[in-house]
Amino acid sequence: MATDGDSMDDDVFESLEDIDSRLNVSDRNFSQKGGTPSPTGYRNYKPPDEVLKLAENDVIESTEPAIHKTILLGDSGVGKTSLLVKFDTGKFQSGNFSATVGIGFTTKVVTVNNTKVKLQIWDTAGQERFRSVTHAYYRDAHALLLLYDVTNKTSFDNIRAWLGEIREYAQDDVVIMLLGNKADCGAERAVRREDGERLAREYSVAFMETSAKSGQNVELAFVAVARELKYRQNGTKDTNTFNVKDYIREQSEKPQCASCTT
């Protein structure tokens, strides 16, 4: 049994009968027409005007940005995990990562023209035995970043097979970007930049070279994807308004920082 101190008969709260007895004439007419008193039970409470306007319009816009699923693809060892860690933390982890097993992801928010674009970035295993697992994630992907290692000709030669799988399993309108990673390893280069550009033109996808170690174009790659996704989300597919390939070319032509290796 509640003590006097625990009584709910507090001045702040009122019963529905109390509220009804305090209603003025217009409120009683409203009640008779099927309206009900405020469920809060607070005496003389009136919601702020902005809340009433939202209620009248029945629209409350969410400030939480939509999530865009972005997947990193490519052979094992091309640097997918290193690229993701560099973008996510700004740091390059020296030494070799153990091969990614299955699937892992992180979420990063990119600001595009004062608008937040949330990328859910998935790091996938490149080994053949995990390929069937990766296929399951293609179907609802919004963007795919396909990597090869510029020091590994085989990883570049396998890009056509990867693109074939993308065409088979992914949505037709998925954003695809081809990345030639480890571009800082000049002396060990086995794939020319021109070869990457030619292959990208053949498949009509955006292209750039990156380096997780130096940071070359890492930020640009994800920002370009975020920009493309933003314009698509807004229904703006007019190439005169935004073109991801032109954006990459324009940004790539800007002077790089002195510490970056090209």
Report whether 194 contacts 175 (CB < 8 A). no
Q: Please state the domain count of the chain.
A: 1
pLDDT at 28 over 50: no
pTM of the model: 0.67
Residue 75 lies in a domain: yes
Residue 25 lies in a domain: no
Contacts for 19 with CB less than 8 Å, ≥ 6 apart: 37, 38, 41, 43
In this prediction, residue 131 carries a pLDDT of 58
Q: Indicate whether 227 belongs to any domain.
A: yes
Band (132; pLDDT cuts 50, 70, 90): low
Q: Let me know if residue 12 belongs to a domain.
A: no
What digits encode the pLDDT tens for the residues 54-91? 555 544 445 677 899 999 999 988 999 899 999 998 98
Residue 194 structural domain: 67-252
Domain-located, residue 60: no
In a domain, 145, yes or no: yes
On whether residue 257 sits in a domain, the answer given is: no
CA-angle at 115, arms to 70 and 208, nearest 5°:
45
* DSSP assignment of 36-49: ---TT-BTT----H
Confidence label for 150 from pLDDT (cuts 50, 70 and 90): very high
